[in-house]
């Protein structure tokens, strides 16, 4: 193993732990009986969902997922070359 493989391995582990933590902080997206009866989709909070913490966490999750896949691909290319 060369230094790049070790660095990419450590970065992949760190990014995967960050993804796990961010996903655990997010709320579930189940609509219960209250959401169906009271029209939960038309609430004030759902209209401003882009500004909520859940939307921010979802955006962060997407970015770290992209970084994770790029790191995995780069690590695979480096491993195949050596």
pLDDT of 16-51, one tens digit each?
999 999 999 987 766 555 555 555 555 555 556 556
Residue-level pLDDT at 9: 93
Residue-level pLDDT at 82: 80
The pLDDT confidence band at residue 10, using thresholds 50, 70 and 90, is very high
- For residue 63, what are the domain limits? 3-26+48-81
Torsions phi, psi for 21 (to 5 deg): -65, -45
Residue-level pLDDT at 66: 96
The pLDDT confidence band at residue 1, using thresholds 50, 70 and 90, is confident
Residue 43 domain-assigned (yes or no) = no
Residue 38 domain-assigned (yes or no) = no
* Of 17, 41, 19, the residue nearest 29 (C-alpha): 41
Domain count within the chain? 1
């Amino acid at each position: 193993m060369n230094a790049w493989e070790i660095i990419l391995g450590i970065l992949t582990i760190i990014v995967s732990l960050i993804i796990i933590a961010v996903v655990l902080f997010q709320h579930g997206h189940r609509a219960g009986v209250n959401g169906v009866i009271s029209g939960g989709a038309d609430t004030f909070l759902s209209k401003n969902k882009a500004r909520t913490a859940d939307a921010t966490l979802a955006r962060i999750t997407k970015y770290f997922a992209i970084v994770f896949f790029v790191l995995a691909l780069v690590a695979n290319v480096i491993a195949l070359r050596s």
